[in-house]
Chains A and B, each alone.
Chain A
Amino acid sequence: MAAVSGLMRRPLEQVSGLLRRRFHRTAPAALQVTVREAINQGMDEELERDEKVFLLGEEVAQYDGAYKVSRGLWKKYGDKRIIDTPISEMGFAGIAVGAAMAGLRPICEFMTFNFSMQAIDQVINSAAKTYYMSGGHQPVPIVFRGPNGASAGVAAQHSQCFAAWYGHCPGLKVVSPWNSEDAKGLIKSAIRDNNPVVVLENELMYGVPFEFPSEAQSKDFLIPIGKAKIERQGTHITVVSHSRPVGHCLEAATVLSKEGIECEVINMRTIRPMDIETIEASVMKTNHLITVEGGWPQFGVGAEVCARIMEGPAFNFLDAPAVRVTGADVPMPYAKILEDNSVPQVKDIIFAIKKTLNI
């Protein structure tokens, strides 16, 4: 019975895998999906599901998106649902907010979040605060999405991480996917959420393929906003991260495992509202904590995690002060060798872990 319903859910290519399973009881061939494809799928499914959903931004239509994330969507949905805008972030973000107030469900794409600074008044004052200021009468069901943080060789004005900036604001929800499953589940949840949600993607992750579990292939696959995921169980130290650095943390964990150090790697998935409970439970188990992020150290995501741990029950379980691994406190350099050394590398994570464990 389960096999038959499985047949209904899965695309045709999966059938042979399914048959294999029935006869040999082995798992079907894993589906590899890149982060870009996952976001594309998520948006496609939500555009199909709800007529009120639409995408606007620069180059999103015929060009398929500056980073090809909206590939094929304009061809499928046309001018009314996929809209190219003039170069005015303040303009189209404001327009998107207005559309959301009037009952539509816009996805507002910033070519990178650096350009969202042109529109930040619209994101914060028009989107984030309106529900509160209207006494609960005026919701703003909008999604702001785009690549965030460091890329490769795009220098100071195009490499900033905005997790701390947007995470600071009540009224906004802020998510930061790492892999394909995160990307699809979070974008779908963001679109269905009636609050303004900022989705911080990562350009360097767009082309990275990940194994896509079968649940993620469903059109109703959602990842709840506000829940972190333990990517790797461990006993010696809790390593908390979001976005691309999660991958580096897992690499560091693999290296350290050979030395007998077992790291518990937590993928935050959501910046705001932060799932501090998962982090607390982990710290109460491991007694050690480091945070890893691409953004600048001062007033950053790691700083918030550390402050909350200190304020909660997990503080008494710490055997050492928590350490933050962050981007270097400089505007991002252009020279490649400097850029490479301005973002946390695996060796920096290993160094911080060993320092915290006093090894």
Chain B
Amino acid sequence: MAVAAAAARVWGSSRGLGQAGLLLLRRPGARGLARSLPQRQVQQHFPSLDDKPQFPGASAEFVDKLEFIQPNVISGIPVYRVMDRQGQIINPSEDPHLPQEKVLKFYKSMTLLNTMDRILYESQRQGRISFYMTNYGEEGTHVGSAAALDNTDLVFGQYREAAVGAAYAAKRANANRVVICYFGEGAASEGDAHAGFNFAATLECPIIFFCRNNGYAISTPTSEQYRGDGIAARGPGYGIMSIRVDGNDVFAVYNATKEARRRAVAENQPFLIEAMTYRIGHHSTSDDSSAYRSVDEVNYWDKQDHPISRLRHYLQSRGWWDEEQEKAWRKQSRKKVMEAFEQAERKPKPSPSLLFSDVYQEMPAQLRKQQEALARHLQTYGEHYPLDHFEK
């Protein structure tokens, strides 16, 4: 009896059983409910019980034909785009009609990134830096999505679960911030992607999951990474609003991210954007992709469907850009990168006192002793060290 009453409290109120149900469960002396119910009473109080499933776990109709749901990978979730491969707007109502300076900023950001990639990749080959990963072919995903965010929004590059936690904190603080979490289609295979999606949905967090599906995880092609319809198809499984976009179309990326941001914050719910693109470069400076893919495949994307080329065609067709400006900007952007690089190389190294900080928030006693010992040592023997290369 007590159990039935407890059950009624737990199940009755939240599962839509209604007052009649509660009354039924509380009936004294009820051992087997079915046996103690007169037929008429069932029909009177639960007219809908025969028609609809009452399972707490799912809300759906009954079906009396055995049929498995076929995963749809031949014609999967469609790819949203605004421009065609030649940079022409397809549906004018989807054109974000951004002002010229903003679109030029898109273009200059993407090309500056491309220039920086070339210079830094080379500098790794020359031994000036230890490691580098380029963005070739994916510039549209970065710039289009970043442009749609506010300056106070939080960006996580990886760490899917932690991003959800941050979004939860932002919601609780009423911060009017969205969290965006970037990851590749390979990283989506990690267990914490599953946990991240599920928690974002159940905790109702203002987060945009931005998946860059670029075709490869180091050498693993998507055909070996998953068998379903990419990452976008997983979203609905978690109850997450999802979309697949043409990642090489900077306006499509912008539109989707802008709308996702608006709604994520207004409605406190997660969004999943799968940006389809192609990794033109190697995975990193430690990789040689000619080992696992053809040069022809790479050239197709470089020549026929590149985010920078498509935006350039859009700009040129509006008279907002031309060959001369292109030449001048290439020179200028190269100069910018080289100057920044040289400035960074000239910077003095951090102060030696910083050797001991930041393992914990408060410096533990034994580290403070070591810091003081070093300070004393440098006072006496400082001339033997290249201290002018370091900040004070």
For B189, give its contact among A86, A329, A336 (CB under 8 Å).
A86
Distance, CA A84 to CA B187, complexed state (A):
15
Question: How many Å from the CB of A86 to the closest CB on chain B?
Answer: 4
Question: How many Å from the CB of B217 to the closest CB on chain A?
Answer: 6
Within 8 A of A (CB), among B328-363: 355, 359
A118 within 8 A of partner (CB): yes
CB contact under 8 A between A87 and B224, given known A63-B219, A331-B359 = no
Residues of B within 8 A of A336 (CB): 130
B292 within 8 A of partner (CB): yes
B291 within 8 A of partner (CB): yes
Distance, CA A59 to CA B226, complexed state (A):
15
Residues of A within 8 A of B218 (CB): 58-59, 63, 66
B190 within 8 A of partner (CB): yes
Instruction: State which size class the interface on B falls in.
Output: 10 to 19
- Residues B130 and A86 in contact, CB atoms below 8 Å apart: no
Nearest opposing residue in chain A for B226, CB measure: A86
Distance, CA A90 to CA B195, complexed state (A):
13
Which of A87, A90, A153, A338 neighbours the largest number of chain B CB atoms within 10 Å of its CB?
Answer: A87
Our count of residue pairs bridging A and B at CB distance below 8 angstroms stands at 48
Residues of B within 8 A of A78 (CB): none
User: At the interface, is chain A mostly helix, strand, loop or mixed?
Assistant: loop
Distance, CA A338 to CA B390, complexed state (A):
14
Residues of B within 8 A of A87 (CB): 186-187, 189-190, 217, 220, 225
Distance, CA A58 to CA B217, complexed state (A):
10
Question: How many Å from the CB of A56 to the closest CB on chain B?
Answer: 12
Nearest opposing residue in chain A for B356, CB measure: A330
- Residues A88 and B220 in contact, CB atoms below 8 Å apart: no
Question: How many Å from the CB of B383 to the closest CB on chain A?
Answer: 20
Question: How many Å from the CB of B209 to the closest CB on chain A?
Answer: 16
Question: How many Å from the CB of A325 to the closest CB on chain B?
Answer: 17
Question: How many Å from the CB of B153 to the closest CB on chain A?
Answer: 25
Distance, CA A331 to CA B192, complexed state (A):
23
Within 8 A of A (CB), among B212-249: 217-220, 224-226
A62 within 8 A of partner (CB): yes
Distance, CA A62 to CA B192, complexed state (A):
27
A273 within 8 A of partner (CB): no
Question: How many Å from the CB of A104 to the closest CB on chain B?
Answer: 21
CB contact under 8 A between A86 and B224, given known A63-B218, A63-B291 = yes
- Residues B292 and A63 in contact, CB atoms below 8 Å apart: yes
B191 within 8 A of partner (CB): yes
Nearest opposing residue in chain B for A92, CB measure: B189
B320 within 8 A of partner (CB): no
Question: How many Å from the CB of B362 to the closest CB on chain A?
Answer: 16
Question: How many Å from the CB of B42 to the closest CB on chain A?
Answer: 47
CB contact under 8 A between A88 and B189, given known A330-B359, A331-B359 = yes
Within 8 A of B (CB), among A132-170: 152-153
- Residues B130 and A91 in contact, CB atoms below 8 Å apart: no
Nearest opposing residue in chain A for B186, CB measure: A87
Question: How many Å from the CB of B150 to the closest CB on chain A?
Answer: 29
Distance, CA A336 to CA B349, complexed state (A):
12
- Residues A86 and B220 in contact, CB atoms below 8 Å apart: yes
Residues of B within 8 A of A84 (CB): 220, 224
Distance, CA A26 to CA B359, complexed state (A):
58
Residues of A within 8 A of B355 (CB): 338
Distance, CA A126 to CA B292, complexed state (A):
35
B11 within 8 A of partner (CB): no
Nearest opposing residue in chain B for A63, CB measure: B219
Question: How many Å from the CB of B185 to the closest CB on chain A?
Answer: 9
Which of B190, B192, B217, B355 neighbours the largest number of chain A CB atoms within 10 Å of its CB?
Answer: B190
Distance, CA A63 to CA B190, complexed state (A):
20
Nearest opposing residue in chain B for A115, CB measure: B190
Residues of B within 8 A of A331 (CB): 359
B46 within 8 A of partner (CB): no
B131 within 8 A of partner (CB): yes
Within 8 A of A (CB), among B159-205: 186-187, 189-192
- Residues B191 and A153 in contact, CB atoms below 8 Å apart: no
Question: How many Å from the CB of A121 to the closest CB on chain B?
Answer: 10
Contact with B along A325-356 (1 / 0, CB 8 A): 00001110000101000000000000000000
Question: How many Å from the CB of B107 to the closest CB on chain A?
Answer: 33
For B191, give its contact among A58, A63, A90, A329 (CB under 8 Å).
A90
CB contact under 8 A between A88 and B131, given known A59-B220, A63-B219, A330-B359 = no
For A62, give its contact among B187, B217, B292 (CB under 8 Å).
B292
Nearest opposing residue in chain B for A88, CB measure: B189
Residue pairs across A and B with Cβ atoms less than 8 A apart, 22 shown, are: A58-B220, A59-B218, A62-B219, A62-B292, A63-B218, A66-B218, A86-B186, A86-B189, A86-B225, A86-B226, A87-B186, A87-B187, A88-B191, A89-B190, A90-B191, A118-B190, A118-B191, A152-B130, A153-B130, A330-B359, A331-B359, A338-B355
Nearest 5 A/B pairs, CB to CB: A86-B189, A153-B130, A63-B219, A90-B191, A87-B189
A residues touching B (Cβ–Cβ < 8 Å)? 58-59, 62-63, 66, 84, 86-91, 118, 152-153, 329-331, 336, 338
B residues touching A (Cβ–Cβ < 8 Å)? 130-131, 186-187, 189-192, 217-220, 224-226, 291-292, 355, 359
Given A62-B219, A62-B292, A63-B291, 17 extra CB contacts under 8 A: A58-B218, A58-B220, A59-B220, A84-B220, A86-B189, A86-B220, A86-B225, A86-B226, A87-B189, A87-B190, A87-B217, A87-B225, A88-B191, A91-B189, A91-B191, A329-B359, A330-B359
